[in-house]
A and B are shown apart, each in its own frame.
Chain A
Amino acid sequence: MAAAALCWALRAARQVFPSPRTSQVRSYYVDWRMLRDVKRRKLAYEYADERLRINAIRKNTILPKELQEVADKEIANLPRDSCPVRIRNRCVLTSRPRGVKRRWRLSRIVFRHFADHAQMSGIQRAMW
């Protein structure tokens, strides 16, 4: 009986706490700008549906214009950080706002550092 309970507990543990894929190197955000960017991303995710629907009313030729103006006001009332335009794709390791390759989420300097140490899978120095 105890063995059965233990097996159940193990299975539950595996589902709830899957074994970690990577070990965390650092437990903080690199700088405050990165933190603000994280907040914006979260809010944008929360308000994404609402924004989509209100925009669907706004960008419309069928509905009356008064309705669309009301929708304009509504969307302006939403928190400023909820719009996705404010998100900046920063480097994940250094929080560099420019020179970030989207596929790897890394700035060019970090990317070059890792590629030279052969820590980027499938990356090779170009030579032709």
Chain B
Amino acid sequence: STSSVLSAEKDESPTSKDSTTEVASKKQEGIAETPKQKLLDIIGSMKVEVSYRKKLQQLKTREIKKQATKKLEGVDSESSMLQKTTEDTQRSKPLNPELVEAVSAVASSLPLNKKQTESELLAQLRRHEETTDKQKKGGTINIRNVISEMTVKRHSPAQKGVRVSSCISLKLDEDGQSIKPERLSPQSFDSRSLKVGRRLNIFTKASTETENALKTVSPPTIWDLEFAKEIAAVTAQPPRNGFEEMIQWTKEGILWEYPIDNEAGMEDDAEFHEHIFLEKHLEGFPKQGAIRHFMELVICGLSKNPYLSVKQKIEHIDWFQKYFEEKKEFIQEV
């Protein structure tokens, strides 16, 4: 490409050098899907020493390459190139000797560090060869799928990083959602919403089994209770008025609950017949005699007692039964 610039200055045959550049550019075009992008990348990666002359040359080469690619997009241009060039365009694993010649010519055209530029250009060509081989096999990354989802933002901030992130911004209507009905939840970005877009599947959903396993924890330790008490003490605000004071007292137990419940605190679930008819507990006693008489009196008294629970009454009767069993021998002596 640079040779083409210099050909204007020199009186050498421009066609051969044009052909080399065109061949090289054609090959480059065959490599890249976005040839313009690739060419730009190549030019950017070319390590030419910085000087104003070089910059001018680079600009000129870029323009010429663009022109060349525009020409080459047509089929006829290819055939014309083939006609023009006597060299074979067939590729082989080792670099084409014609390309090597072209590289040497380009390197010679550049004023400084001919060997360095020659080696760099050769490396570039090798890379191109590799990528084309990979593409033939279908191993390279298919950029089309990624680019199809991308939309270029018009208003992008000056910084490069933000521009990159903005390039990867996803469309709103992909999942059939739009921001407007979701305005209830606060979102950090106004232009870009966090909930829109395809799932990345980076994180796996936590299984509910672990949650259930965690719920069946041992009863809370003393520290947990202390912590709970602390929280209750901190969060307990002093009562603002008399009503809140009375509520607090009722909770503590100082004040009764109104309307007054006569059976507050009493948890006797037994029916009245369990309190009164206690004869069924007298099965262990003899049916005749003083003891039976005595126990019937005991039962009569217990049935009239409203303060004892059924359990306590049964305990009384059982104690008497044990006592009289122990004293059985003594009683029989009498």
Contact = CB atoms under 8 A, between A and B. Distances in A.
Interface of A: 1, 4-6, 8-10, 12-14, 16-19, 21, 49, 53, 56-57, 60, 62-64, 66-67, 70
A39 to B, nearest CB: 25
Contacts of B253: 18, 21
B277 interface: no
Interface string B264-303: 0000000000000000000000000011011001100000
Given A10-B232, A53-B319, 6 more contacts: A1-B215, A13-B225, A16-B225, A21-B254, A63-B294, A70-B330
B229 interface: yes
A63 B291 contact: yes
A4 B236 CA distance: 19
A14 B232 contact: yes
A55 to B, nearest CB: 12
B238 to A, nearest CB: 13
Interface string B292-334: 0110011000000000000000011001100100010011001
A53 B232 CA distance: 47
B298 to A, nearest CB: 7
B220 interface: yes
A4 B215 CA distance: 9
Contacts of A62: 290, 293-294, 297
A8 B297 CA distance: 50
A53 B316 contact: yes
A11 to B, nearest CB: 9
14 contacts: A1-B215, A4-B215, A5-B220, A9-B224, A9-B227, A12-B228, A13-B229, A19-B252, A21-B252, A53-B323, A64-B331, A67-B327, A67-B331, A70-B327
B249 to A, nearest CB: 9
B50 interface: no
A6 B297 contact: no
A6 to B, nearest CB: 7
Nearest to A54: B323
Interface in B205-227: 211, 214-215, 217, 220, 224-225, 227
* B217, B228, B229, B254 — most chain A CB neighbours (10 Å): B228
Contact of A53 (B217, B320, B327): B320
B331 A13 contact: no
Nearest to A8: B220
A1 B290 CA distance: 66
B226 to A, nearest CB: 8
A117 to B, nearest CB: 21
A60 B294 contact: yes
B214 A67 contact: no
Nearest to B297: A62
Contacts of B291: 63
Given A1-B214, A64-B331, A13 B290 contact: no
B158 interface: no
A17 B327 contact: no
Given A1-B211, A67-B330, A13 B232 contact: yes
Contacts of A60: 294
B334 A9 contact: no
B223 to A, nearest CB: 10
Contact of B225 (A4, A9, A19, A49): A9
Identify which of A8, A9, A56 gathers the most chain B CB atoms within 10 Å of its CB.
Answer: A9
B231 interface: yes
Nearest to A5: B217
A56 B320 CA distance: 10
A6 B298 CA distance: 51
